[in-house]
Amino acid sequence: MAGRGKTLGSGAAKKATSRSSKAGLQFPVGRIARFLKAGKYAERVGAGAPVYLAAVLEYLAAEVLELAGNAARDNKKNRIIPRHVLLAIRNDEELGKLLAGVTIA
């Protein structure tokens, strides 16, 4: 019965692909899923929830890094320091509103 079970003769196992790479993300979908399950936010966590959350977090990180990089370049620096992140957030209206109660050292 060649149509059932393991394939005969091939021997080469298929390489596992992460959920992050399937979604085209850099942030770890599996780790976020684990945190959502361990955090007891809900009794059950859907399959799409960690992917969506990873995408949102990645977008926010990219947005802050872009603005902080611009602030560093404006100050003629090659390295982003916390002051550049602070300037980036406070100068952006939407990020400033989102992170109004956040202290950046």
- Rounded mean pLDDT for each run of 10 residues along the chain, 105 residues in total: 63 88 96 95 95 98 98 97 96 96 90
Residue at 33 is within a domain:
yes
Q: Which residues neighbour 26 within 8 Å (Cβ) at sequence distance 6 or greater?
A: 20, 58
Residue at 61 is within a domain:
yes
Give the number of other CB atoms < 10 A from CB of residue 82: 10
For residue 23 the two structure tokens come to: 């979604």
Residue at 56 is within a domain:
yes
- Determine the Cα angle at 30 with ends 33 and 22, to 5°: 120
Residue at 85 is within a domain:
yes
Question: Would you say the pTM of this structure is higher than 0.75?
Answer: yes
Residue at 32 is within a domain:
yes
CATH number for the domain including 30? 1.10.20.10
- In this predicted structure, what is the pLDDT of residue 10? 63
- In this predicted structure, what is the pLDDT of residue 7? 61
Structurally, how many domains does the chain consist of? 1
Residue at 103 is within a domain:
no
Residue at 4 is within a domain:
no
Domain residue limits at 53: 19-98
